[in-house]
Amino acid sequence: MVAHCAALLVLTDRSVYLMFVIDFQTHPDRYRHWRLGVDGRVATLDMDVDPDGGLHDGYKLKLNSYDLGVDIELADAVQRLRFEHPEVGAVVLGSMKERVFCAGANITMLAGAPHPLKVNFCKFTNETRNGIEEATAESGQRYLAAINGTAAGGGYELALATDHIMLIDDGSASVALPEVPLLAVLPGTGGLTRLVDKRFVRRDRADVFCTIEEGIKGSRAVEWKLIDELVPGSVFDERVADRANEFADASPRPADAVGVPLTPLDRNFSDNGVVYSSVTVTINRSARTAEIVVKGPTGPAPSDTEAAGSAGADWWALRAARELDDAILHLRVNELEIGTWIIRTEGDMEAVLDHDRFLHEHDDNWFVHEVMLYWRRILKRVDVTSRTIISLIDPGSCFGGVLAELALASDRTYMFLGTTEDDDRTAVLALSESSRGVLPMSNGLARIGTRFWGDDEGLRAAEETIGTSLDADAAMQAGLVTEIYDDIDWDDELRIMFEERTSFSPDCLTAMEANLRFPGPETLETKIFGRLTAWQNWVFQRPSASGETGALRRYGTGLRPEYDKRRV
């Protein structure tokens, strides 16, 4: 398969060449699959997938089926609605295809995709759906699904991510999760979990529903809690509009605020990384590591929220967030063999903390609040990223405020003890209010809450450091870093650690990290990533689904799949 959607011009020291990568940046003007409309307080986001617009060759995106490219546009739209449209209080997710809402993930794409791409695709689509739920819960942009026909598999799962599901009552429109009977894989975008844990569908009914290829329609869909409203075809559009207006009226979004345009990112790809204005990614291919350096702000925080709004996408807090997010997504999907991410920061700690304070002081401002929510989503993305994440806190770094959360999101954190011959700066770590719980992990806990799970005293001690700058000894004492090394040991110890990490089985690290990162309570989100995804990964590998004669490969051939009959 050849990616043809994202040919990036790359400048190296020797030449200019085209690099084919999956690009997560897009704009409504360039959407091929969605129509975004805003009418006062209500936005409509209509799916109209271009069958020929697949990210790769070899499949046609019929019946509003989707691939990663379609979902990248959806994620972009959801994101833009939050930043560019403060006035919008309700979003109607609909379809422009007749009698079809969405047929879910494209099967031919899934059948042909290599395992890592399938898994990455599921992860991103899950994050996008979680983002839709977060917009509803935290941003006052309440999503509703207007299902005008068939909503099958990922199509119904998309609807499940909204807060209110309306189904047209035309005798044929239905919701379905036909994966199990048809494809021998799971509904992998949260469907199983959302059925029983969000919509509280009884487990035996969920079992029945998940085995009915054609799905469920009409009043039974309401009775089983699969949808919220069944609406006659004659009044469907009208009733959807009424409901959207009702939701918008109840929304706390500021009707008269001015949106912040998400301008194109300033970035340059090269063979060994990407350079953004505040983030630099440097790949070491032989070591299979990527160093991600986040640079702190060069000036003080905005003087007030108006200034922040005027700075908009140029404001460091948003700019660095967008760049970091893009870097993470790029590395995750385009650099599969780069197994370890080294996170560093560079800059003036006081400036970082100044911007961080601003974020907290003005959290009642819609825009500032959105920036903070964005950091929350990015940090959650780090948490579920299948790469070893190591933070290095060295002299000149600025792990403070929101950036300190990057250190806490890491599998391990190493801190430089003392000074070097040439540099009399010491490394510091500074937790702020950002570590208290406004940036929760998907288990609902602050990262220090997770770190000190079961250790109340440790947690209290860590909380007491909030507002203080800690040197290596103090950070180690507070249990906030894994290990500290001085100038003599730093390079050697880290080199050995990185070499060792790279020598381990990449799969096994993925599985281990997924287990160790989330102690404590579980939530809908952790169930989706920790339980559902793990089972789906397993099923994706099994011959009954992905083997030559498996259901995914046999789908559409007229041949029946062959299954390994043993229960495992």
Report the site for a copy of itself in 434-473 (rule: CB under 8 A): 450-455, 458
| Assigned token pair, 170 | 């035309």
Closest CA to 126 of 154, 97, 103, 102: 154
Tell me which residues in 362-401 interact with a copy of itself (CB under 8 A). Answer: 386-387
Residue number with CB closer to a copy of itself (195 or 368): 195
CB distance 335 to 281 below 8 Å: no
The window from 23-31, 63-71, 427-435, 507-515 that contacts a copy of itself (CB under 8 A) reads 507-515
Q: Beta-carbon neighbour count of residue 496 at 10 Å?
A: 11
Tell me which residues in 309-368 interact with a copy of itself (CB under 8 A). Answer: 336-339
Tell me which residues in 58-77 interact with a copy of itself (CB under 8 A). Answer: none
CB of 68 to a copy of itself, least distance (A): 15
Whole-angstrom distance, CA of residue 545 vs CA of residue 536: 10
- Residue 52 interacts with a copy of itself (CB under 8 A)? no
- Residue 286 interacts with a copy of itself (CB under 8 A)? no
Q: Which of 218, 254, 418, 519 binds a copy of itself (CB under 8 A)?
A: 519
- Residue 563 interacts with a copy of itself (CB under 8 A)? yes
Q: Which conformational region is residue 490 in: left (phi greater than 0), alpha (psi within -120 to 50 degrees), or beta?
A: alpha
Closest CA to 481 of 432, 429, 518, 517: 429
Whole-angstrom distance, CA of residue 278 vs CA of residue 319: 7
Total binding residues toward a copy of itself, as defined by CB under 8 A: 90
Residue number with CB closer to a copy of itself (273 or 339): 339
Whole-angstrom distance, CA of residue 122 vs CA of residue 141: 24
CB distance 394 to 427 below 8 Å: yes
The three-point CA angle 541-527-566 to 5° equals 35
Distances, alpha carbon 242 to alpha carbons 24, 110, 216, 552, in Å: 34, 38, 25, 41
Tell me which residues in 118-147 interact with a copy of itself (CB under 8 A). Answer: 119-120
CB of 77 to a copy of itself, least distance (A): 28
Residue that is written with structure tokens 């079992």 in the block: 207
Tell me which residues in 178-197 interact with a copy of itself (CB under 8 A). Answer: 179-181, 184-186, 192-193, 195-197
- Residue 482 interacts with a copy of itself (CB under 8 A)? yes
The window from 25-33, 52-60, 201-209, 228-236 that contacts a copy of itself (CB under 8 A) reads 201-209
The window from 226-234, 301-309, 353-361, 537-545 that contacts a copy of itself (CB under 8 A) reads 537-545
CB of 131 to a copy of itself, least distance (A): 22
Tell me which residues in 158-177 interact with a copy of itself (CB under 8 A). Answer: none
52 CB-contact burial (10 Å; exposed 0-12 / middle 13-18 / buried 19+) = exposed
Q: Which of 20, 263, 521, 559 binds a copy of itself (CB under 8 A)?
A: 521
Alpha helices in 198-304, H assignment, sequence order: 203-209, 218-223, 236-249
CB distance 442 to 519 below 8 Å: no
CB of 544 to a copy of itself, least distance (A): 4
CB of 181 to a copy of itself, least distance (A): 6
Q: Beta-carbon neighbour count of residue 476 at 10 Å?
A: 17
Residue number with CB closer to a copy of itself (311 or 336): 336
Q: Beta-carbon neighbour count of residue 282 at 10 Å?
A: 16
Closest CA to 155 of 63, 53, 243: 63
- Residue 541 interacts with a copy of itself (CB under 8 A)? yes
Q: Which of 32, 62, 205, 436 binds a copy of itself (CB under 8 A)?
A: 205
Q: Which of 346, 444, 512, 555 binds a copy of itself (CB under 8 A)?
A: 512
- Residue 406 interacts with a copy of itself (CB under 8 A)? no
CB of 183 to a copy of itself, least distance (A): 8
Q: Which of 28, 51, 418, 520 binds a copy of itself (CB under 8 A)?
A: 520
Residue number with CB closer to a copy of itself (40 or 521): 521
Residue that is written with structure tokens 């299979």 in the block: 288
- Residue 545 interacts with a copy of itself (CB under 8 A)? yes
Contact partners, residue 558, CB within 8 Å, separation at least 6: none
Whole-angstrom distance, CA of residue 564 vs CA of residue 502: 34
Residue number with CB closer to a copy of itself (14 or 560): 560
